Amino acid sequence: MTGPTATIDGLTAPLTVAIERAVSLLGQARRVLITGLTDAPLEAIAAACDLAELLGAAVDAGADDIASPAGPILLRAGGMTADLAELRDRADLVIAWFCDSAAALATVGEAGAVAGGPRRRLVAVGPRPPTGWEHISLDAEAAVDAARLLHASLAGHEFPAGSAHAPLATGCRTLATAIGAATCVGILTQPGADPLGLAAWALARAVRCLAHAKPAFMVPLRLVPEGIVDNAAGAQTLLTWRYGAGGGIARADRTGGHFRPAECDAVRLIERGEVDAVLAVGRLPAATETAIADRASDLSLVRLDCRSDEPPRAAGSCVHVRWYRAAGTVLGQDGRERTIGDPAASIDSLAMILALLRSRLPEASA
Amino acid sequence: MTLPAPLSEPRFVLTGGTLHDPATGRDGVVADIWVEGGRIVSPPADPAGFRRVDVSGRVIMPGGIDLHSHVAGPKVNAGRLIAPQLAAGRRGTCPAAVPTIHATGLLYATLGYTTVFDAAIPPASAAIAHRELAELPILDRGIYLLAADEEPVLRAAAGTDAAKLARLLATTISTGRGWAVKVANPGGPAFWKRGRRGDQHDLDTQLPGLTATPRQVLERLATAVTSLGLPHPLHVHTANLGLPGNWRTLLETMRSLAGRRAHLAHVQFHSYSGGDLDEGSFGSGVAPLVDFFNTHDDLTLDVGQVLFGDTVAMTADAAAAEHISHATGVPLVSHDSHLAGGCGILPIAYREQTLIHAWQWAIGLEWFLTVTDPWRVALSTDHPNGACFTAYPRLMRLLGDAAFRREALAGIHPTVRSQSPLAGLNREYSLQELCIISRAAPARIAGLPHKGQLGVGADADIVVYRRDADLARMFALPAQVYRGGLLVAEDGQPRSLEPGRLLSAAVPEQ
């Protein structure tokens, strides 16, 4: 078994030396940001939080909904969710709502959830027509208006007159007819590309309105690159029970974190120079990587991840520890835990590295 | 937070305290409490090695037990998200309605509570809830599992194979490491998943897609739980929570369960008179309910008292949450998982001058003050639904101080002031009775023979209070709190963060 490997400023270094350097960087920092976390197991996230509390660090998981100005609530208000098994077993109308047709629907297809047939109708709404689905063509920018119009239709209101709304109204009328003929409606959604949260909110309201008339639910699809652990739900859940929010934590404190949505997210903290050290646990969103690169000379970086490559870094101190593989527990979007990797391989685990950092830090601070 | 090393003394004696220990019949008796190995022991023949702690003049009670609270799991996390300003409160400033899991333990312990149960965890979320509860400091803790939200269990409860239902419940309790079975709106998820909204009117409406009614589901669940010999009987949140006229549903629930052991949760939220969905006719339906309850000894209850202030309502009864959201216009967070139940969460601000809120406040107190047997009543606010548990001292004063209660009554909505029977209720709970409803009765109801008492062999969960005519002040700041013989809090400050034990029920093999 291969253990963790490390580099310091791009040069291969023994793990023990890299750990000591990381401890030094974090211990001497004015203010540390701990970010990433969404592809780390729960055990490692907990260890990262322990470290954050020791350092009084800011914490942000880089999740999309925390970065939204409206925060996490807007995205969840009124959502009626289910999983693919529910879709497979009950829905006679499946609507793919502005999903990426190739990747998202492939995921669903693998689960056997959208096999078409005489008793199941498949309708895709959005810019691109997936193979085998009826298609209602609407531009991506129309997602919010389409959801609002559908909601109005389901609530019994007339479609607005006027040529500006004509294509939208035609599409929604077709959809409303299909919904009217169905007994159970499953709607596939693809969270992510919704910076304000309005599209998700508008659709959630429409689905809840529909659910008053007949069984209806949304199935959010998360697209995660192959080989990447998805523990976004775990990160948000654990951070919330520890600090009262899933990110945007100004200072890690178990008695009540200082929640500053859209103020203390990772990108803003880095861009404004409010942190001078970043502990990146796992993969980071592209925007965070860009922010780190832009402030490289002012920022110490400790990176713990599985990636084999390393973004070039022109300046600033950087310790990069690659752990062997993720092992531990992750939380699915459905709220269920599952085990990944070999828990027995804890000697190589991320949690162990984080615990090691924590155990060394008081010494460094002193 | 850095703490001094925990004061972990294997042996000590609290001397000269005035004991309130209803389980052993001691009511204001001055006696010593000997502790060894985390338990209360008989006075030893050789007292050498027992450190003496002088508690003369102070009031000694067993540690508090909250048998119906919401402290962990997905709905509590959603509550923290929906009201982050209420998640970060600290003692002495704005009290948190939905504290972080760590703060929850500290706040409970510094109030003199040593055991808490989360009353509604979906089986699918039990693993993550246990992970969260592992970070709960100090308190012994357990969970009630919403077993009947699971489709196979609901189908079994709707059928007639009692052995199969018992087997499924046993498996749920065993795998979910639960303490009890909770049902929230019996059969309600079937309406929520399959029916049209508004289809569910009473306990006798046929469940969509099933050949049974909510009443039959309720009765079969209660029987199955009894057959398993679980420590706590079926924990029942009945249908029509929060609706005008729902006192009839609660009465029918009690009639259905009479003759079986069952616990009725947060009865305040189920005791409203008035016409169906007619909030203008809202009022108290407590009197006939109390009459029935007082004459049926197998039934127990917790009240779910409302106290004025900001909080977050959260329930596994998603339909009820949505109704409240529509009625009040506040935003709802709803986590529905159609295969495994759901929950609804919404912020709420209880105000003295709001008619409905004033009725809710008065109805809860009416329950407390008209039930004749305090041993069948558990003090609760259904945290955080009626109020945060940090308001318990205020509730204790409302119960134990009639003058204070009258003063509070004078400040609420005039209609309630004039129509509620509260003004004519002069009962004052004694210290012994307050001890019963916050310690001894919850222990007995929950099935914890080693808790809620100070007899030999009991867990050394002990609270030392300074006597004070102001009961709210007295109960808000105990001088010392011991959990399992360990000093965990002193004068409002935590002294140990050592986690307590998980209470999980043993179930017989089916």
Complex prediction ipTM: 0.91
Tell me which chain B residues have a C-beta less than 8 angstroms from the C-beta of A73: 81-82, 331, 333
Q: Contact B332/A335, CB-based, under 8 Å?
A: no
The tokens 């702690």 sit on which residue? Answer: B53
Phi and psi of B217, rounded to 5°? -60, -45
pLDDT exceeds cutoff 50 at B356: yes
Q: How far apart are CA B233 and CA B445, in angstroms?
A: 8
Q: Which of A88-92, A315-319, B442-446, B475-479 has the lowest mean pLDDT?
A: A315-319
Q: What is the pLDDT of residue A114?
A: 61
Is residue A284 within 8 A of residue A62, CB to CB? The reply is yes
B494 Ramachandran zone, left/alpha/beta (phi>0; psi -120 to 50): beta
- The total number of structural domains in chain A stands at 2
Could you give the residue ranges of the DSSP H alpha helices within B186-317? 188-194, 214-228, 247-257, 286-294
Res B5 pLDDT > 60: no
State whether A201 and A139 are in the same domain.
yes
pLDDT for the residue numbered B281: 83
Q: What is the pLDDT of residues A142-174, one digit of tens each?
A: 888 899 889 888 888 876 666 566 778 888 888
Tell whether A157 is within 8 A of chain B (Cβ): no
**Residue matched to tokens 């300046």:** A315
Residues A33 and A130 in one domain: no
Higher per-residue confidence, B308 vs A144: B308
Lowest average pLDDT, out of B72-86, B301-315, B321-335, B434-448, goes to B321-335
Whether A241 and B80 lie within 8 Å, measured CB to CB: yes
Task: Answer whether residue A229 is part of any domain.
Answer: no
Residues of B in contact with A42 (CB under 8 A): 131
pLDDT digits (tens, 9 = 90+) for A347-360: 457 888 999 999 99
Q: Is residue A242 part of a domain?
A: no
pLDDT classification of B4: cutoffs 50, 70, 90: very low
Let me know whether A112 and A92 are in one domain.
yes
Contact call for residues B160 and B186 (beta carbons, < 8 A): no
Convert the pLDDT of each residue in B422-457 to its tens digit.
999 999 999 999 999 999 999 999 999 999 999 999
Query: Residue A72: its chain B contacts at CB < 8 A?
Result: 81
Task: Count other Cβ atoms within 10 Å, centred on residue A155.
Answer: 13
Structure tokens that stand for B131 in this block: 């992970």
Work out the percent of chain A whose per-residue pLDDT is above 70.
77
- In which residue are the tokens 């305090």 written? B374
Q: Could you tell me the CA-to-CA distances from A194 to A105, A144, A219, B400 in Å, in that order?
A: 19, 10, 16, 54
CA distance between the termini of chain A: 36
Residue among B124, B194, B332 minimizing CB distance to A78: B332
**Placement of tokens 């119906």 in the chain:** B68
- Say if residue B90's pLDDT is above 50: no
**Residues in chain A, total:** 366
The CATH number for A147's domain is 3.40.228.10
Q: How many CA atoms lie within 13 A of A229 on its CB side?
A: 29
A335 contact B CB<8A: yes
Same domain, A213 and A82: yes
pLDDT of residue B37: 94
Q: Domain range spanning residue A322? A: 5-62+247-365
Chain B interface includes A82 (CB < 8 A):
yes
- Report chain A residues whose CB lies below 8 A from the CB of B90: 255-256
Q: Rounded CA gap, A143 and A95, in Å?
A: 14
For residues A215 and A92, membership in a common domain is answered with yes
Bridge partners (DSSP) of residue B35 are B12, B40
The runs of H, that is alpha helices, within chain A are: 15-28, 42-55, 64-67, 71-76, 84-90, 103-110, 143-154, 166-181, 198-211, 232-243, 266-271, 286-294, 350-365
Interface contact flag, B337 A76, Cβ < 8 Å: no
Would you list the domain boundaries of chain B?
11-62+450-494
Tell me, what's the pLDDT at B6? 45
The one-letter code for the residue type at B328 is: T
Q: Do A255 and B80 touch (CB under 8 A)?
A: no
Q: Which of B84, B131, B339 sits opposite A259 (nearest CB)?
A: B84
Q: Which residue has the tokens 């808490």?
A: B116
> pTM (2 decimals)?
0.90
In a domain, A87, yes or no: yes
Q: How far apart are the first and last CA of chain B?
A: 46
Spatial CB neighbours of A29, under 8 Å, sequence gap ≥ 6 = A55, A275, A276, A277, A300
- Indicate if the pLDDT at residue B85 is higher than 70: no
Q: Would you tell me which residues 114-143 of chain A have a C-beta closer than 8 angstroms to some C-beta of chain B?
A: none
Do residues A97 and A116 both lie within one domain? yes
Same domain, A99 and A41: no
Question: For residue range A266-284, what is the model confidence (pLDDT) as tens digits?
Answer: 999 999 999 999 999 988 9
- Is the CB of residue A208 less than 8 Å away from at least one CB of chain B? yes
Indicate whether A211 and A84 sit together in one domain: yes
Q: Which DSSP string do the residues of B2-50 spell out, in sequence order?
A: --PPP---SEEEEEEEEEEEGGGTEEEEEEEEEEETTEEEPPPS--TTP
**Which alpha helices (DSSP H) does B263-391 contain, by range?**
286-294, 318-328, 355-370
DSSP classification of residue B137:
B
| A154 and A50 together in one domain | no
Quote the CA–CA distance of B418 and B408 in Å, as a whole number.
13
Q: How far apart are CA B313 and CA B29, in angstroms?
A: 41
Confidence of residue B9 (pLDDT cuts 50, 70, 90): low
Provide the shortest C-alpha distance from residue A2 to chain B (in Å): 30
Report phi then psi at A266, rounded to 5: -55, -45
Look at residue A269 and tell me if it is in a domain.
yes
Using alpha carbons, list the distances in angstroms from residue A222 to A99, A110, A131, A230, A313: 10, 14, 21, 9, 31
Q: Does residue A238 form part of some domain?
A: no
A255 and A296 in a single domain? The answer is: yes
Question: Tokens 């047709």 correspond to what residue?
Answer: A101
d(CA A176, CA B344): 27
DSSP A175: H
**Which CATH fold topology does B11-62+450-494 show?**
Urease, subunit C; domain 1 (2.30.40)
Same domain, A142 and A56: no
Q: Per-residue pLDDT tens for B168-177?
A: 999 999 999 9
Mean pLDDT score of chain B? 91
Of the candidates A90, A256, A331, the beta carbon closest to that of B90 is on: A256
Clarify whether residues A24 and A150 are in a common domain.
no
